[in-house]
Structure 1
């Protein structure tokens, strides 16, 4: 279901919502650089079936309303351009607006993929809106690894990700030993996205099981 959110600076953005409105556990699901597209709605609905209330904010609305991309090379370039036009401080305002739209009293988590993986890290370190955070293949996390999380964090990376070298992953591990970090041999960037050529079903299932277990521990 589509809805509209209001950020602290007055910006209004759309969001995809799913799951029971009276849920005791709730998630902000953060998009890749392709907008709130079919894959992100699929992810949101999957968590909703697990009993979570989910809000997936359209972060691209700051640059272009309704942007919804595929996975072709030209989509990647367009997504990177849209992401580059948005101030990270504004993105933080938008995920906090999404958190505020979750059920009152629910334990709140955040999970993000690709760009959203980095945004989820910022949600953990730059906000106190969440009780748990998970990031999948967030390329900007290594650069922000000295930031201290305000909640438990779990991270997932593909060992064959050409954009995130294992040296970055090891740097995160060294800087943040309190963070759960999982790597997946042979997995590439986007391994959990069923619409990408890099999709790895076995790794996606294992990462999802770990994610659900993490939320089960920290959002109860």
Structure 2
């Protein structure tokens, strides 16, 4: 049986908070997490957030240096549910697309693909160049899922935090994990309609005259 663990990579693209929030959600779900963070991501962390690396690392079950190519997650014999790179820079995407394991993130991603496990990449860049698009095509053909963190406005988010949670909830859906952060299209409406119909039916039965 595959242990309930996920490999998490945080690369240097804008959106460091996606990786942090992902770790928080997985911790709430009691999923064992194995984290590696690129050097560029540490710079992004400093510019975009008030987090300290020690605090981020504490959210993970295990943390590995980005240059530790002997880490457990660099081997296919290390069992996991798969891997998420959140966010995924275009540099990291290119390395994965071309099988260049120059960092632990790209090596762990390569291992995930060769073992036929789910690999989800929150590709963060806009607009895309032809090189970006070709690399996305390449990793998709290899079995990865490219999931840019695009906000879902049908959920009518009230804050940036809700937008982030919805995106990550949809990512975790791909692993069969329910984070409870997704406002699902028509599901709440259907549930409300079903409840209303049930209530109306019960009321009608109570008010109906009894036939002797």
Shared fold, TM over 0.5: no
Q: Which has a greater percent of strand?
A: 1
Larger Rg: 2
Relative to the length of structure 2, the TM-score reads 0.42
Kindly indicate whether structure 1 or structure 2 has the higher relative contact order, using CA contacts under 8 Å at least 6 residues apart.
2
Relative to the length of structure 1, the TM-score reads 0.41
